[in-house]
Structure 1
Amino acid sequence: MKKKIMIQGTGSDVGKSVLAAALCRILKQDGLRVAPFKSQNMALNSYVTPDGREIGRAQGVQAEACGMAATVDMNPILIKPTGSMRSQIVVRGKPHMDMDASSYRDFTRKVWPILQESYHRLEQQADVIVIEGAGSPVEINLKDREIVNMRIARWLQSPVLLVGDIDRGGLFAQVVGTLELLEPEERDLIAGILINKFRGDPSLLHSGIRWLEERTGKPVLGLIPFLPDLDLEAEDSMSLDRRPVLKKNERDDRIEVAVIRHPHLSNFTDFDALEKEEDVALRYVGHPEALGSPDVVILPGSKNTVEDWLHWVRMGMAGAIQDRARQGGHIVGICGGYQMMGMELKDPLQVESRHGQVKGMELFPLHTTFLPEKRTVRVRGVLTNWGEEVWQSLRQEKVEGYEIHMGITEPISGGKSGGPLFRVAADGENPRGEGWISRDGRRWGTYLHGVFDNDGFRRAWLNQLRREKGWAPLQPSRSHAARREAAFDRLADHVRRHVDIPRLYQILDEKTSHTG
């Protein structure tokens, strides 16, 4: 019988995804085949599997922690909010349809067989399944149709670890309240409590832990200190609010990069590798007056490109970026941001918004037409020969990344100011031009998410910016992949030190049951 353990939380953002990744890596280190599972995820940060399907970013990261390729079975249902109280529902990695909350509640009745099939396929690949819940298991208005918390635990008779975040305060009320609101058979599945993000002297909490155990009858299996600089990407853009604000004197000897924080920002993890470079000062900007005069402005991906672009036009951010381009600043667009940099955004079928056609930033001689079919694919390629001599060191630099978009971007007839940035292909495809770069190399855009994860490209591009500023180039630092592996191991070591892992194995052995 397959073993499983489920991570649920007293609320959102208590650390479920990170602790699930930690358990995945610990079990892998101990020689077990492990797979993550989250039946339903809601996130704008998504991950493309090797076969070109879309799942929640957290499950992709957890799969990496397990040392296995991500599959749609790890997250069969993904909800991507689009604005206007609607969300795109992705089923087994492909868009199903847009729904409002009421329609989705009815839809959950139909997807249970899909979740079961996905879980059973994972069982064929792993010795242990690490299952993640979502939000709180005691949202009373949602319990009758939820498909991600206790309904999963009851179906699988899985032991559950309940995680609470002590950093925000109110931990004892959150834990006790959650247990009180569970049904008796659900409460019986709670095998232990994890107290996460602790700061301070552990001895000061001993009496509180004793009280909690006596009050609930559940053991506290870990008091996990806050782990700074984890170096693993977050799934929720709320995490951007907790990043330290850069001060002016911290940027004088670094390349200043301003990432525009769209209202429907997606895949902001595209910039994690860039942010870790020692000569980069990266900040997120949500107001035009905060833009300043950065060396580089990056327009990232968006789940609603047209609405986000019109928001920036109304706010004055569009004009501020155009001014920065005229002043010689470097402007970069990724996916939706790349679409914004063209001449026009056309949505005749109202795929993304009610606007049929809007003017873009007019930095590239391109227009984008939105179509119902989403392209999700992993690609590899090389840099083309466009751009002037400042890009010479990047010629034929290899890149890889993934595309997630519903638009087709094409050159406007007669447009000659630049050309394709990359020449790429997915498995089974012929190489094609992708993205765009101006002749002076100061403006470029691409559909490739993860382009900055390419170590050679990232460092060569930054060194071009350094030369422009009269600075000597730097040697490549530790690779992004090596940094991630080190981060997984650091996280696992941290959790091992502060969680009763022997008791966790006892729970796995004692609570194994059928998955009927």
Structure 2
Amino acid sequence: MVLGTTSGAGKSWLATALCAWYRAQGYRVAPFKAQNMSNNARVVATADGGYGEIGSAQYFQALAAGAVPDVRMNPLLLKPEADTHSQVVLLGQVDAALTQMPWRARSQHVWPVIAGALDALRQEVDVVVIEGAGSPAEINLSGSDVVNMRVARHCGAHALLVSDIDRGGAFAHLYGTWALLAPEDQRLIKGFVLNKFRGDASLLAPAPEMLQKMTGVPVVATIPMVRNHGLPEEDGVFDDRSVVGAPVAGQALRTIAIVAYPRISNLDEFQTLKNVPGVRLVWARDCRDVDDVDWIVLPGSKATGSDLRWLRSQGLDRAICAHAQAGKPVLGICGGLQMLGESLIDPADVQGNQPGLGLLPLVTVFEEHKTVRYGEHQFAPLKGAWNALSDVAFHAYEIHQGQTRTYVAMAEAEGGVQTAIANLAWANAKGNVLGCYLHGMFESDAVMYALWGGRSTSLHSVFAHMRDGVSQWFE
């Protein structure tokens, strides 16, 4: 089990690396995270022939492990819809009753499902690599814990405790976290890991030895800072320090602005764009962020209505429309597609009625139930800026709470609309504005080849690098 002294310490990254390493040793491996809070989710098949959602981190860990992603690998997923409210997804399906239940009251209801999922995976594989959440020393939540030490005790896990040394205070974080655990939980901590280290490792002495004397726990690895490792961050976060690819000879740098509204979701699907040489991704939070960019992308949203209102409050609506009217490419995915249309209609008061940006002649009607699907799709012949995607086939997934249709009168007034994929994707008559419900198309080799000539880092090479790192960094 991989625990962390803080969020962002590197739990997901290290758990993925361990999945790849154990797989390379010939073991059958499965990842597991009891509870994940993230709006980055993937669609996977369920035992009854349907589809369900799991956190993206466990999806990538399953791929690293050579396992088929399974809803049991992340039995409880919390998808924030507001600062104090999350949609609860249990074994891949939205659970309305749990969603309305107070946080601490949920544990007694979800624990049997969590324990059952973990026990079933343990029966099927040789090694389960478990990821914790936040910190196990959040003593205000220990009474309702279902993701950290309760999981470790349930299966007698050998736990690693990871700290981000780049932030400073790593030894205090490690010791303080260990000291706040109950004695029975302290005994489960088998090793400390210093992550994101930059500098001369010999200067760490004698701190690791002193820490071991105080706790009885050795520092088993010092992992260097690894930038551009090619794996999406847990929350899809990136910054300019780590996303600028070196331009290919004779190729100009291309800048893609992703609109960063408050309830952004599924940002991990843009990781492959980060891996393309010559492409720079930037967050767009105000009008200045979209000045002179090549593409504007409106990503998915867990709260389309409120995010569209935020976008208007920032003046980004005018900037996006000006970009499109200048003939430059605009792409909307899922919630972003809905924003590009003429209007959002909400009979059940899920998202709120309001006009869209008016860049595509579409109307979206929100529904109570969510569409969750995975499948193979193919773009129709397209004109204009998105012509490179014409006839390209790819696999992708849907997670949306709304259905979109062409607004016929407006489409006729604007000279027509291109149906890129029936009922799922549309482009304007000029061909520079494209909206689709499909997540994950940038993870398709066919799509990446069409757009960039295939210049990106494959997941296979990413996992191989992580696997080799485990062999080098652990005693």
Residue of structure 2 aligned with 1:400, choices 395, 398, 406 = 395
Please state if 1:498 is matched with 2:438: no
Distance 2:233 2:339 in 1: 25
Deviates more, 1:401-410 or 1:391-400: 391-400
Q: Which runs of 5+ in 1 are unaligned?
A: 1-5, 423-431, 463-474, 501-516
Q: Which residue of 2 aligns with 1:470?
A: none
Q: Which residue of 2 aligns with 1:476?
A: 454
Distance 1:172 1:341 in 2: 49
For residue 108 of structure 1, give the secondary structure of its aligned residue in structure 2. Answer: helix
- 1:485 partner letter: H
Distance 1:485 1:272 in 2: 14
Distance 2:299 2:306 in 1: 14
CA spacing shift, 1:345–1:391, aligned 2, 3 Å: closer
Please state if 1:373 is matched with 2:373: no
Matches within 5 A, 1:10-409: 10-51=5-46, 52-97=51-96, 103-237=102-236, 239-241=237-239, 243-244=241-242, 253-352=252-351, 355=352, 357-385=353-381, 387-388=382-383, 394-409=389-404
* 1:86–1:99 CA contact under 8 A, matched in 2: no
TM-score by length of 1: 0.86
Distance 2:234 2:243 in 1: 20
* 1:24–1:65 CA contact under 8 A, matched in 2: yes
* 1:334–1:449 CA contact under 8 A, matched in 2: yes
Deviation at 1:158?
A: 1.5
For residue 402 of structure 2, give the secondary structure of its aligned residue in structure 1. Answer: strand
CA spacing shift, 1:88–1:122, aligned 2, 3 Å: same
Deviation at 1:104?
A: 2.1
CA spacing shift, 1:225–1:123, aligned 2, 3 Å: same
The total of aligned residue pairs comes to 465
Distance 2:206 2:55 in 1: 39
- 2:472 partner letter: R
Deviates more, 1:390-399 or 1:443-452: 390-399
- 2:355 partner letter: K
**Once the two structures are superposed, what CA deviation does each residue of 1:288-341 show, in whole Å capped at 9, x if it has no partner?**
122102221111111111100011111100111111111121111011101100
* 2:244–2:279 CA contact under 8 A, matched in 1: no
- 1:348 partner letter: P
CA spacing shift, 1:286–1:244, aligned 2, 3 Å: farther
* 2:296–2:330 CA contact under 8 A, matched in 1: yes
Please state if 1:434 is matched with 2:433: no
Please state if 1:446 is matched with 2:421: no
Distance 1:407 1:442 in 2: 24
Deviation at 1:458?
A: 3.0
CA spacing shift, 1:98–1:56, aligned 2, 3 Å: farther
For residue 240 of structure 1, give the secondary structure of its aligned residue in structure 2. Answer: coil
Q: Which residue of 2 aligns with 1:465?
A: none
- 1:477 partner letter: R
* 2:76–2:91 CA contact under 8 A, matched in 1: yes
CA spacing shift, 1:139–1:242, aligned 2, 3 Å: farther
For residue 421 of structure 1, give the secondary structure of its aligned residue in structure 2. Answer: strand
Deviation at 1:124?
A: 2.9
* 1:371–1:407 CA contact under 8 A, matched in 2: yes
Distance 1:255 1:192 in 2: 44
* 1:255–1:280 CA contact under 8 A, matched in 2: yes
Deviation at 1:454?
A: 1.9
**Once the two structures are superposed, what CA deviation does each residue of 1:62-118 show, in whole Å capped at 9, x if it has no partner?**
000101110000000000110141110111111113877971210111111101221
- 2:296 partner letter: V
* 1:246–1:283 CA contact under 8 A, matched in 2: no
* 1:87–1:98 CA contact under 8 A, matched in 2: no
Distance 1:31 1:350 in 2: 52
Q: CA RMSD in A?
A: 2.2
* 2:333–2:435 CA contact under 8 A, matched in 1: yes
Distance 1:141 1:389 in 2: 56
CA spacing shift, 1:216–1:296, aligned 2, 3 Å: same
**Once the two structures are superposed, what CA deviation does each residue of 1:381-406 show, in whole Å capped at 9, x if it has no partner?**
21113x33776654321121111111
CA spacing shift, 1:413–1:166, aligned 2, 3 Å: same
Distance 2:394 2:207 in 1: 52
CA spacing shift, 1:392–1:229, aligned 2, 3 Å: closer
* 1:383–1:397 CA contact under 8 A, matched in 2: yes
Deviation at 1:256?
A: 2.3
For residue 366 of structure 2, give the secondary structure of its aligned residue in structure 1. Answer: strand
